[in-house]
Amino acid sequence: MRKIGVVLLSGGLDSTTVAAFAKAAGYELVALTFDYGQRHRAELKAARKVARIMGVRHEVVDLPAMKKLCSYSALTSGHLQVPRGRRLAGPIRDIPPTYVPLRNTVFLTLGAALLESTILSLIDHREVEPKGVSASLFIAANAVDYSGYPDCRPEYFQAMQRALTQGTKLGCQYGITISVETPVLHMSKADIVRLGIKLGAPFEHTWSCYEGGDIPCGSCDSCLLRARGFAGAGIRDPLLERLQREGKIAEGQ
């Protein structure tokens, strides 16, 4: 079985772990990153660095319209503020302003288009038989230590897998399921850290903070979840160690 995969790579802790997981599992992998008008460029820079270190083919797609169409979010507009210093004890009931409307739906759809195009080309050029290929779309969603986003729930991904399979030539003509893979969906952030360290994920070059700048803010939801993950795993964050070596943060910060 020839395993073809696309991983949605944001440049953060979770997606880097998932990319390392897919690569270790033997997938012919493409990392896909979206420039959708987010608040800063730090995560795009991180994604490029991570993909290069991991030796994974990397595609960065410009989606300038998303900033306008998905404007009601603190990540795409200056009118909403990024929450800081919240208590993140388990799943959150209220969806925070950092939710980007239908972001995962757009990303999964475009990732599936790349995945389908890749496999259709292989089939048409007789490099593979339809029965001898699998199609997997990896996303680093998490339903345990997460920020309350509706598009990070198990039932959402089940529905997306059905829609992507039923709405594609791969599914309808060749009977190939576009499998939406969520390897870290039910893992705590500490478990994700442990898995990434085990797989050799380059955490020192990842970026999780909702803000840009030279160093993470340390108080947004994403920073707090990341810090909790490394603390729970009993591991010093390699990003902080790198920033310390570069003189950007003080020792012990």
The pLDDT of residue 84: 72
252 inside domain: no
In contact, 139 and 157? CB cutoff 8 Å:
yes
Strand positions, DSSP E, 143-189: 178-181
CA 189 – CA 30 distance, rounded (Å): 24
User: What's the whole-number average pLDDT of the chain?
Assistant: 91
pLDDT tens, residue by residue, 52-106: 999 999 999 999 998 889 888 887 777 777 767 666 555 556 788 888 899 999 9
pTM for this model (two decimals): 0.92
The pLDDT of residue 38: 85
159 inside domain: yes
251 inside domain: no
Which residue segment(s) compose the domain that 207 sits in? 2-245
Task: Please give the single-letter amino acid code of residue 139.
Answer: I
24 inside domain: yes
What's the token pair of residue 106?
Answer: 């757009």
For residue 53, the domain's CATH number is 3.40.50.620
Residue with tokens 């790198």: 242
The pLDDT of residue 253: 61
177 contacts: CB under 8 Å, gap ≥ 6? 135, 161, 165, 171
pLDDT tens, residue by residue, 147-183: 678 898 999 999 999 999 999 999 999 999 999 999 9
166 inside domain: yes
* From 29-38, 118-127, 211-220, 237-246, the region with the lowest mean pLDDT: 211-220
The pLDDT of residue 88: 59
85 inside domain: yes
Q: Phi first, then psi: what are they for 61, rounded to 5°?
A: -110, 130
CA 188 – CA 168 distance, rounded (Å): 33
Region class of 230: left (phi > 0), else alpha (psi between -120 and 50), else beta? alpha
Task: Please give the single-letter amino acid code of residue 224.
Answer: L
Domain count, the chain: 1
253 inside domain: no
16 inside domain: yes
Q: Region 34-60: what's the mean pLDDT? A: 93
